[in-house]
Structure 1
Amino acid sequence: MGVVVVAAGSGTRLGADRPKAFVELAGATLLHHAVRGVLASGPDEVVVVVPEVRVAEAQSAIRSLVGSGPATTTVVPGGAERTDSVAAGLAALSPAVDVVLVHDAARCLTPVEVFERVLAALALGAKGAIPGLPVVDTIKVVDAGGMITDTPRRSSLRAVQTPQGFDREVLAAAHASGSTATDDAALVEALGHGVVVVEGDERALKITTPEDLARAERLLGSTRD
């Protein structure tokens, strides 16, 4: 099993002076927390995708985490869009990898149980599996003028997270299709493959704003109490 950790975000909405993955949370970068969580899931290979100017820094930052474990860890430069970065990570995995998890470094507190649920779904034959949580807010669909056009039932909605797991060949074909999307599941869905949703976790929040970072600090503190 291989994991592509996408850590190429700019951090603009976080108000940071550096890429998001290199912002600190409780004394360590988001990237550090994320890679530590990924390694706990027992991958054979990990590819971390970062901005080109941060490759050496990322290599140094994660060196102490890898140690003598079985995972091969590589750092590669990302692209202009998320899909470009994931494709770069895929290309860096060895041909022996047949199952790939794509994980966002911004979801750096994702517990290992979420990785395990995704992998279990793939082991049962799913071509794609992603974690998600039930939506608690009422969602409205609106047109360009702000007029409501639909109110979908909350019972059928999920707020999805990462890691998103896929059959390697299916994910590679999805990225080779030339489509763009906000997540890899959408690319795989566009090829006609089914993607199953497994139970996510509140701790797998995506850190995007200063408020998210403060929430992550609280979550991390509660796990240490």
Structure 2
Amino acid sequence: MTGHTPRVAAVLTAAGSGTRFGSAVPKALVPLAGRPLVAIAAERLAASGQVSEIVVTAPAGYLDEIHAAVLSGADLGPGVRVHVVAGGISRQASVAAGLASLTSTAQVVLVHDAARPLVSPTLVQRLVATVVAGHDAVIPAVPVIDTIKEVDDGDPPVAVRTVDRAALRAVQTPQAFRADVLRRAHEAGAARAADEATAVSDDAGLVEALGLPVHVIAGEQAAMKVTTLHDLAIAELYLREGA
């Protein structure tokens, strides 16, 4: 793949509930500074100038609402195709559904969470460039700054040891993959997707299970995951600061 411009597609997961917000609508439709999270996330992907196709995975019953939120709330520019599919029982199953609906000409696939709306277009560009340079799988991550303890299963738990945080990273999305590698990883791990207890929390985990290396590049603090109302307030602060 080195040396030419690949066709890049994205699977944007937006099938989560809004229960932690106390919201009656899915999390992806919760507004951040007046715009749905999913619209901001899609717009940031498109602003990279890399992505020509976005498949959004939505909760059952909300496909039309998610589609309308992206088309009316995001400035995607010319030439970006958007369609929406129903998500699955787990995040892994949702990504598999999105991957299955992508056009087969995609050579690089980004998997991104609508709950991380503030990823910069520059980070998207760096991820794609790293795949083009010859790496099968690339993820963004930030250093872990808290002290991390391993604990036992007692009540209350007892600290077993302090983990060396120098070797730890908190992983973000988008994650970027050579399309054929991601498809192969999902096929090999498909049996895990039907149960949240066995499903992977990120697609890089499926590539790791194939025994392939997953490369890590520097992520961004603003690419935080919006899960609670407190997170939403922090994301609004990042926006005011120019994220």
Q: TM-score range by the shorter chain?
A: over 0.9
Distance apart, 1:105 and its partner CA = 0.2
Q: Deviations over 1:21-75 (max 9, x none)?
A: 0101111110111111111122121101111211111222222436661111111
Q: Of 35, 46, 53, which aligns to 1:45? A: 53
Distance apart, 1:158 and its partner CA = 0.5
User: Which position in structure 2 is the counterpart of 1:160?
Assistant: 171
Please list every run of 5 or more consecutive structure 2 residues that lacks an aligned counterpart in the other structure: 1-7, 193-198
Q: Distance in 2 between matches of 1:47 and 1:83?
A: 15
Q: Distance in 1 between matches of 2:104 and 2:118?
A: 29
Two-structure CA RMSD over aligned residues (Å) = 1.4
Give the fraction of aligned pairs with identical amino acids, expressed as a percent: 46
1:144 match: secondary structure: coil
Q: Is the 8 A contact 2:44 2:118 kept in 1?
A: yes
Distance apart, 1:151 and its partner CA = 2.2
User: Which position in structure 2 is the counterpart of 1:184?
Assistant: 203
Shifted more, 8-17 versus 74-83: the winner is 8-17
Q: Distance in 2 between matches of 1:83 and 1:171?
A: 12
2:19 match: secondary structure: coil
- Say if 1:119 and 1:209 are closer, same or farther in 2 by CA, change over 3 A: same
Q: Is the 8 A contact 2:47 2:76 kept in 1?
A: no
Distance apart, 1:207 and its partner CA = 0.2
User: Which position in structure 1 is the counterpart of 2:16?
Assistant: 9
Q: Distance in 1 between matches of 2:63 and 2:234?
A: 28
1:95 match: secondary structure: coil
One-letter code aligned to 1:161: Q
State the TM-score, normalizing by the size of structure 1: 0.95
Q: Distance in 1 between matches of 2:71 and 2:91?
A: 24
Q: Does 1:108 align with 2:127?
A: no
Q: Distance in 1 between matches of 2:93 and 2:184?
A: 14
Q: Distance in 1 between matches of 2:229 and 2:176?
A: 28
One-letter code aligned to 1:176: E
Q: Distance in 1 between matches of 2:238 and 2:172?
A: 17
Q: Is the 8 A contact 1:66 1:73 kept in 2?
A: no
Please list every run of 5 or more consecutive structure 1 residues that lacks an aligned counterpart in the other structure: none
1:206 match: secondary structure: coil
Distance apart, 1:138 and its partner CA = 1.0
One-letter code aligned to 1:50: A
1:151 match: secondary structure: strand
Q: Deviations over 1:194-214 (max 9, x none)?
A: 001101001100000111001
1:220 match: secondary structure: helix
2:146 match: secondary structure: coil
Q: Distance in 2 between matches of 1:193 and 1:126?
A: 10
User: Which position in structure 1 is the counterpart of 2:3?
Assistant: none
Distance apart, 1:143 and its partner CA = 2.1
Alignment size in residue pairs: 224
User: Which position in structure 2 is the counterpart of 1:130?
Assistant: 139
User: Which position in structure 1 is the counterpart of 2:126?
Assistant: 117
1:150 match: secondary structure: strand
Shifted more, 59-68 versus 125-134: the winner is 59-68
Q: Distance in 2 between matches of 1:98 and 1:150?
A: 43
- Say if 1:66 and 1:214 are closer, same or farther in 2 by CA, change over 3 A: closer
Q: Is the 8 A contact 2:59 2:87 kept in 1?
A: yes
Q: Distance in 2 between matches of 1:153 and 1:3?
A: 34
Q: Distance in 2 between matches of 1:168 and 1:149?
A: 41
- Say if 1:186 and 1:53 are closer, same or farther in 2 by CA, change over 3 A: same
Q: Is the 8 A contact 1:6 1:102 kept in 2?
A: yes
Shifted more, 138-147 versus 87-96: the winner is 138-147
One-letter code aligned to 1:96: T
Q: Deviations over 1:141-162 (max 9, x none)?
A: 1222223333221111100100
Shifted more, 204-213 versus 169-178: the winner is 169-178
User: Which position in structure 2 is the counterpart of 1:149?
Assistant: 160
